[in-house]
Amino acid sequence: MSMEFTGLKEKTLVLLKPDAIQRGLIGEVIGRFEKKGLKLVGMKMMQLEEAVLREHYAHIADKPFFPGVSQFMQSSPVIAMCWEGLEVVQAVRILCGITKARSAEAGSIRGDLAMSVACNVVHASDSVETASKEVPRFFKVDELYTYNKSEFEHVYTEDERV
């Protein structure tokens, strides 16, 4: 079984960061994705290790602030989720808001629930290409579920479900 990243099978990674866990925002954040009509296909709580963080944040691993990011991301468990849906990467990015939370639009997760760049509640894949690398970094194929989500007929038109 392979992971598909097109159409209704497009997948994205969302991590609930330590600040979300510590502040009791798990249900609030998950509820926003559910209310949008997205399909949760994988979820687990995990303690991140340095090696995973170095790979995940390879684009900043050589920056002087990386040790602080790594320490923060290891300060408590995170919740890794894989969401599925039509153009789900873009939809999740809009729901999350921009990285600098204090400047994020009101109504977005970060705009409503955070003030920081690092302590901004969630990480979300920034492109389909990135998602295709991040999802397998956090989930094995057998940890993702395929099932019919009956509400999809009320979330997408028939042509979008094809």
Q: What is the DSSP letter of 102?
A: G
| Neighbouring C-beta atoms of residue 51, cutoff 10 Å | 8
Sheet of 39-46: strand order equals: 39-46, 78-84, 11-16, 122-124
80, 139 contact by CB (below 8 A): yes
Q: Please name which of 109, 115, 143, 103 lies closest in space to residue 27, comparing C-alpha atoms.
A: 109
| Cα dist from 25 to 17, 79, 126, whole Å | 10, 11, 22
> Residue 79 forms beta bridges with which residues?
16, 45
One of 56, 59, 123, 154 is an active-site residue; which one?
123
Q: Is 123 a catalytic residue?
A: yes
Just list the catalytic residues.
Answer: 123
